Structure 1
Amino acid sequence: MIDHLDHLVLTTANEDACVRFYVDVMGMTLETFGEGRRAFRFGQQKINLHVQGREFEPKAQVPMPGALDLCFIASVPLEAVIARLVEKRVPIVEGPVLRTGAVARIRSVYVRDPDQNLVEISETVP
């Protein structure tokens, strides 16, 4: 019945810091749509952005910054991801470590975004 994820919604307490992280560190594109809504676009997906206390309806029952655990597959080798994280002074919480992804084994590093969401950045491994 379900084919793929189209988008998800991230709630932030600090819009500017969140935008800096997902655009400057993660390399996503910021877009504005609808009535001033914002989203981070990457590949064929996007993350819609809600600011805590100014969420769009309908919304999650309890929208909360820092409640997400996300995993992204990088478009570059993991060594390049690590170099960018070091350059941007984003501490690596864990990794590189081997994990099991949705369709393949992955090698991952973990960081936290400004709202303390856990962000896993991975590459597939043979």
Structure 2
Amino acid sequence: MKQSVLLGIDYVAITVADVEVTWAFYERLFGTEIINEYAPGGRPAVRVFLLGGGARLSVHQAGNGVDLVAALPTPGSADICFRWGGSINEAQTHLAGHGVAIVDGPSPRRTLDGLPAHSVYFRDPDGNLIELMAAN
């Protein structure tokens, strides 16, 4: 593999229909912690939170007036995979316990570092496809 100067991904930003609804969803599932917020006029336009394991998600309110965003920011256009620290069965149980429907899986996959894994997929309130991947 070619040597890279990149160290990893610092955060991923997604555009959502309602920052508060999305925050509540991820907080309920993963116990997220808000680490930064931009709220002109008291209404959150951007909220950044930790999901655990060093993963950071920046949630942008659709139509928030912030200029430095993707060319076509659209709610429900993301596909994100998170590594799950337990078994895939524990991931399924966790999602079911929170009333989150699994749309696919468990499906066999490989992790970035080549380990055999399984994934389950679900959708967040905006329809983003979220994957939980557990190494076998």
Q: TM-score, normalised by structure 1?
A: 0.88
Equivalence for 1:101: 111
| 1:1-126 pair list within 5 angstroms | 1-33=5-37, 35-36=38-39, 37-41=46-50, 42-54=52-64, 56-103=66-113, 104-125=115-136
Identity of aligned residues (%): 28
| Structure exhibiting the larger radius of gyration computed from Cα positions | 2
Q: How far is the alpha carbon of 1:55 from its aligned partner?
A: 5.1
Aligned length in residues: 124
Q: Is the 8 A contact 1:23 1:30 kept in 2?
A: no
**Backbone CA RMSD of aligned residues:** 1.6
Q: Hey, which bits of structure 1, 4+ residues long, moved more than 3 A?
A: none
2:129 counterpart letter in structure 1: L
SS of residue matched to 1:93: strand
Report the CA distance between 1:70 and its aligned residue.
0.5
What runs of 5+ residues in structure 1 fail to find an aligned partner?
none
State how far apart, in whole Å, the 2-side matches of 1:122 and 1:74 are: 5
The CA deviation at 1:44 is 2.0
CA distance in 2 between partners of 1:72 and 1:26 (Å): 11
